[in-house]
Amino acid sequence: MTYLINDASDFSAEAVRGLVAAHPEHVSAVHGGVVRATETPKGQPALVIGGGSGHYPAFAGWVGPGMGHGAPCGNIFASPSASQVYSVARNAENGGGVILGFGNYAGDVLHFGAAAEKLRAEGVDVRIVKVSDDVASNSEENHRDRRGIAGDLPVFKIAGAAIEAGADVAEAERVAYKANDATRSFGLAFDGCTLPGAEEPLFHVAENTMGVGLGIHGEPGVKDLPMGSASEVADLLVDGVLEEDPGIGSGRVAIILNGLGTVKYEELFVVYGRVAERLEAAGLTPVRPEVGEFVTSLDMAGLSLTVVHLDEELEQHWTAPVDTPAYRRGAVDGARSPRTTFFAPGEEEVPAAQEDAQRQAGRVQSVVELFARICAEQEEELGRIDAIAGDGDHGQGMVLGTRGAVEAGAVALERGAGARTVLVHAGTAWAESAGGTSGALWGAALTAAGRALSDERASDDAAKGQALLDAVDAVRRLGGAEVGDKTMIDAAVPFSGELRKGLDAGTPLAEAITAAAQVAQQAARDTADMTARLGRSRVLGDKSLGTPDPGAVSFSLLMQALGEHLAET
Amino acid sequence: MTYLINDASDFSAEAVRGLVAAHPEHVSAVHGGVVRATETPKGQPALVIGGGSGHYPAFAGWVGPGMGHGAPCGNIFASPSASQVYSVARNAENGGGVILGFGNYAGDVLHFGAAAEKLRAEGVDVRIVKVSDDVASNSEENHRDRRGIAGDLPVFKIAGAAIEAGADVAEAERVAYKANDATRSFGLAFDGCTLPGAEEPLFHVAENTMGVGLGIHGEPGVKDLPMGSASEVADLLVDGVLEEDPGIGSGRVAIILNGLGTVKYEELFVVYGRVAERLEAAGLTPVRPEVGEFVTSLDMAGLSLTVVHLDEELEQHWTAPVDTPAYRRGAVDGARSPRTTFFAPGEEEVPAAQEDAQRQAGRVQSVVELFARICAEQEEELGRIDAIAGDGDHGQGMVLGTRGAVEAGAVALERGAGARTVLVHAGTAWAESAGGTSGALWGAALTAAGRALSDERASDDAAKGQALLDAVDAVRRLGGAEVGDKTMIDAAVPFSGELRKGLDAGTPLAEAITAAAQVAQQAARDTADMTARLGRSRVLGDKSLGTPDPGAVSFSLLMQALGEHLAET
């Protein structure tokens, strides 16, 4: 039960305001989350860690010297939006690049990824670190595809300490992934949690039953077992985390026994007594173990055990001083002066553009407007297709996204922006306005396309063609889907291949795009048969038999319109 | 719900073992609880803080440099026994005296008080600090009689820092009470908690209702109100703590917003946002506020707000470094070497006694044996009287207590002890074996009596008479009852007055005791009419009409037997 609410829809934002009010010496509020309240040395990489709210101390409770530089804070159990991540990262970045760290969940992958695209478009060296410690969620070979749970604590602690010790962004990325690869967690739950304002828990575990491997948002576990004693639970957890040997053989381990919300401290210590015996029997020495609440899940009843196999480097960073609202150890060296200036969205300087570059920006904006018109026309049809296998909001999402993009592009244009800035702003607004997966993907596409163009002078056709290829690449990188998964990619990849062929052969741009769009349209239509051909779509299951993928359809529609538009103008 | 249990009766002890396994750098296990794992400077006062289990981080989570020196750990929601407190204090004491700190609850007052008697009998300078911050539990004039709740954190934090800064035991006591007098807490609960192994919660709060001022063990609150919003709850709490002005007018305040178990972090921060606004409006500046779980109550749903009005001295100690399992801030100065030797009960050295002192010890032991025989004879009758207004276990308690005292006295005697040591050991064993209130009081009586005697040589009759007077004083101090409350005191105080009169008049000891015992017997009989005379007993209500108090009866019986025994020998 969540008892204390003013307005459920504003709950997460109010919680962030309360955190900042309570810990002004550690954190300052910026758009989208918090950053350190103290100055960081120029050139130090910024560790930006985040995810949905409802998991405190993760993530905003870990911002401060020795650990995070900032934390974008999403709604309860929802990834922060790309623009939240971007805003926090922009505020945290201080000339040394950015590590974006988050637990490996689809929404976080998309939105942090989109923010990374935007930051890279601005020349920031961005590295992505996905924590993937939950052994219940995937096999050992696919360790980096596992879900992230309480392993967030040691991975971000270690990465933060490495940065404090002088690591550059590449080195910090290396250490963070080394920590992640050395980390295994395994959890159990006895009951679900209730979202603020909800009447019923998000999910249930049957009475006197343990959901073994159940995820912290209720994701499916491994099996259900009858409730065990504290020692039996300890044995299950230890067996779970020690089944795999990541090959760091020092015999020294960081240990976190993490309560999810209503399994309380004395219970955790009863379990830990047995865990300690088992570790000793396995020849492992716990180093500064932590028993308490670190990655919670509102009032969920459950716990997890995390083991990090340490070598000398990881141990040094695990035990190093840290000073954050919720995690403190020892004294971090050096006085920290309060930080006084912050970046707020909308304050970005618009780079100066020459007259011809501004004219090109106007043409880019007219393409965005064209996209918005087409999406408005096709809204109902796209919704109809989407409703067969999905939730029917694809048409609405495309309309909201393109509308936001038009507005942001117009503002940028008015401020004298070039094509690059207009597209980057339009892409950000698209992701922000549309929400969801397709919003994040189209936002990233426009941002990547913008990055291939110039703000200073008009780009030539080669650059414009490259912009389209880059846009498709961004979608592919971010979305993580493959051809044949029945997604937008099934149209975008053939489009990209055909476009590249045309450009290599010297075909004029408008013509090459039109030809590629025709290939894309056929591919989009083909997705209707894909379910039958594959037996079932790998992404959507077999519900979409005979219906084309709405993302592939809208992509091909917009590319066709783009080709025609360029041919006309 | 408490989920993780091996054996409910061993739950608290297992939790302590787990804590020590998890934090060997902070705490070491000793009989009855934990002490610091590191050496403390010779002559530094020891801050020994404790209470029942189920409140972690309070109290064992606060042992370490800058805060506690040791924590006796009782069972869930039950005071540690006097011998647990004694053992932990003996281990923590390092030549600078002891502060015994605990929340103001009857059981803790008795058992910590009895331990203090025993330590004082050994020459240790012991100060008692009762935390009494809960404004819902008593009026402002009676601030020091209030219950202790989350004010434990700042009071012990401040006392620990004062000691770290060099305070001696008297100075630390002064600072601790200054902090307690500057502290106000107010709480609310939405639902009860479930003891390990229990099927049902210990108590309930009606659905959609807030138990305003409800105690952390379910003690009666002020009123029930319909569930409020987070801001309304914040306003209630702020109004509650700011109603009184303890007269420290700096305008700077330590703030603790404490969750009891299942009110989680984001909710607490939402509430804190409003608390911060209200404090600002009241012209108060929060200094290092803490929002989280500090004094929990298993899985109870509730929260409390604590405000400590700071002057320069209190602020300095509140913000000083501290390094414990569950509470850390900054770096405590100086390297701490691991401690290697600990004291275990039964290892106390028995001071050397001369032959005549050993003979006297034998006579003391025969009095203890006499007490045991009388209690065995009277067990049934004492139980019968007690069952009318109480729970009927007074006879059994006296039998168990005297039996334990005989055994411990015999062991001490065999090791060559003098009268002082025999009585102190017998007293400790009485309290330990009997349990409950009368056990604690008789244990303290024997301990105080022993302290008036010598180990080295035989004491004279004046010393023996003083021993009896001291014993009654100890009961009076510890029990906190007054004449007329229908307790053992109603016999003990007239006994003491008559004995003193006789001794002052030069009456031989045996004769004076017998005369005093007759007065005590009449007084004990008079307690039967007390209920009728007073309308109702202040302690027992009106259930005991016409029945004498069993404690007064057993006291007078034993004193009469003592007088007769001394006259014979």
Cα torsion A376, A380, A386, A390: sign: positive
Percent of chain B with pLDDT over 70: 95
What CATH number does the domain located at A182-319 have?
3.30.1180.20
The answer to whether the beta carbons of residues A263 and A187 sit under 8 Å apart is no
Q: How confident is the model at residue A346 (pLDDT cuts 50, 70, 90)?
A: low
- Is the Cα torsion angle B414, B418, B420, B421 positive or negative in sign? negative
Residue B542 has pLDDT above 60, yes or no: no
Mutate to test the interface with B, among A3, A53, A258 (most CBs of B within 10 A): A3
- Half-sphere exposure for A442 (CA within 13 Å, toward CB): 33
pLDDT > 70 fraction of chain A, expressed in percent and rounded: 95
Residue A256: the pLDDT is 98
Please answer yes or no on whether A4 and B268 come within 8 Å at the CB atom.
yes
How many C-beta atoms surround the C-beta of residue A220 within 10 A?
A: 10
Q: How confident is the model at residue B391 (pLDDT cuts 50, 70, 90)?
A: low
Q: Which of B41, B16, B14 is nearest to B26 (CA)?
A: B16
- The segment(s) of chain A belonging to CATH 3.40.50.10440 are 1-131
Task: Give the chain A residue whose CA is nearest to the CA of B286.
Answer: A22
Question: Which CATH entry fits the domain spanning A355-568: 1.25.40.340, 1.20.810.10, 1.10.3720.10, 3.40.190.10?
Answer: 1.25.40.340
Residue B236: count other Cβ atoms within 10 Å of its Cβ: 18
The tens digit of pLDDT for each residue in A61-107 reads 999 999 999 999 988 888 888 889 999 999 999 999 999 999 999 88
Mention every residue, 6+ apart, whose C-beta is less than 8 A from residue B8.
B195, B196, B197, B198
Distance to chain B for A293, nearest Cα, Å = 10
Do B56 and A21 lie within an 8 Å CB cutoff? no
Nearest-angstrom CA–CA distance, B550 and B390: 9
Angle between helices A11-22 and B265-281 (to 10 degrees): 60
Interface test with A, best of B265, B290, B299 (most A CBs within 10 A): B265
**pLDDT score of A1 more than 80:** yes
In which residue ranges of chain B is CATH 3.30.1180.20 found? 184-319
In order, the DSSP letters of B166-202 are T--HHHHHHHHHHHHHTEEEEEEEEE----TT-SS-S
Q: Which residues of B touch A271 (CB under 8 A)?
A: 4, 18
What is the number of other CB atoms lying within 10 angstroms of the CB of residue A543? 12
pLDDT at B185 over 90: yes
Choose among B328, B4, B249, B215: nearest CA to A304. B4
Q: Given a cut of 70, is residue B194 above it in pLDDT? A: yes
The answer to whether residue B541 scores a pLDDT higher than 80 is no
DSSP label at B104? -
Lowest pLDDT segment from A135-144, A267-276, B106-115: B106-115
Residue in chain B nearest A193 by alpha carbon: B262
Per-residue pLDDT of B328-345, as tens digits, reads 998 776 667 787 777 776
Q: Which of A252-256, A334-338, A366-370, B286-290 has the lowest mean pLDDT?
A: A334-338
CATH homologous superfamily of B8-131: Dihydroxyacetone kinase; domain 1 (3.40.50.10440)
CA gap A111, A436 in Å, rounded: 9
Higher-confidence residue of B366 and B343: namely B366
Average pLDDT over residues A172-199: 95
Does pLDDT of A544 surpass 60? no
What's the mean pLDDT in A155-176? Answer: 98
Instruction: Please judge whether B21 and A267 are an interchain contact, meaning their C-beta atoms are less than 8 angstroms apart.
Output: no
Tell me what pLDDT residue B135 has.
96
pLDDT for B347: 62
**Which of chain B's residues have a Cβ under 8 Å away from the Cβ of A298?**
264, 266
Residue B23: active-site member: no
User: Contact A123/A420 with Cβ under 8 angstroms?
Assistant: no
pLDDT band at A347 (very low <50, low <70, confident <90, very high): low
Q: What is the mean pLDDT of residues A257-264?
A: 97
C-alpha distance across the termini of chain A, in Å = 60
Q: What is the dihedral of CA A352, A355, A357, A358, to 10 degrees?
A: 80
Give yes or no for residue B123 having a pLDDT over 60. yes
CB atoms within 10 A of CB B497: 15
Q: Choose, from A31, A217, A309, A425, the residue flagged as catalytic.
A: A217
Does A301 sit within 8 Å of B190, measured CB to CB? Answer: no
Q: Which ipTM value was assigned to this complex?
A: 0.78
Average pLDDT, integer, range B42-57: 96
Which secondary-structure segment (H or E) carries B402?
Answer: helix B394-414
Catalytic residue from among B23, B217, B394, B425: B217
Q: Cβ separation of A269 and B6 shorter than 8 Å?
A: no
Give B347's DSSP letter.
-
Residue ranges of chain B that CATH labels 3.40.50.10440: 8-131
Cα separation of the two ends of chain B: 60
Give which of A157, A180, A181, A184 is closest to A47, Cα–Cα.
Answer: A157
Closest among A112, A113, A91, A121 to A419, alpha carbons compared: A121
Residues 6+ apart with CB under 8 A from A549: A385, A486, A487, A488, A490, A491, A524, A527, A530
What percent of chain B is predicted at pLDDT more than 90? 72
* A275-296 per-position pLDDT tens digit: 999 999 999 999 999 999 999 9
pLDDT in tens, A463-521: 999 999 999 999 988 887 888 888 899 999 999 999 999 999 999 999 999 999 999 99
Question: A157: Cβ–Cβ under 8 A, 6 or more apart, which residues?
Answer: A62, A66, A67, A317, A318, A322, A327
What is the distance in angstroms between the Cα of A93 and the nearest Cα belonging to chain B?
26
pLDDT at A532 over 50: no
Which stretches does DSSP call E strand in B294-430? 301-310, 322-323, 328-329
Q: Which of chain B's residues have a Cβ under 8 Å away from the Cβ of A263? A: 3-4
The conformation of residue B16, written as its DSSP 8-state character, comes to H
The two structure tokens encoding residue A348: 């970005």
Average pLDDT, chain B: 91
Q: Which residue has the higher pLDDT, B127 or A249?
A: B127
Sequence ranges of chain B with CATH classification 1.25.40.340: 355-568
Torsions phi, psi for A484 (to 5 deg):
100, -10
3-class SS string, B469-524: HHHHHHHHHHHCCCCCCCCCHHHHHHHHHHHHHHHHCCCCHHHHHHHHHHHHHHHH
Least confident of B99-108, B122-131, B335-344: B335-344
- Nearest-angstrom CA–CA distance, B123 and B93: 12
| Topology, domain A1-131 | Rossmann fold (3.40.50)
pLDDT above 90: residue B372: yes
- What does the DSSP assignment read for A337-388? PBP-----TT-PPPPP--HHHHHHHHHHHHHHHHHHHHHHHHHHHHHHHHHH
Structurally, what CATH architecture does the domain formed by B184-319 represent? 2-Layer Sandwich (3.30)
> How distant is the Cα of A264 from the closest Cα of chain B, in angstroms?
6
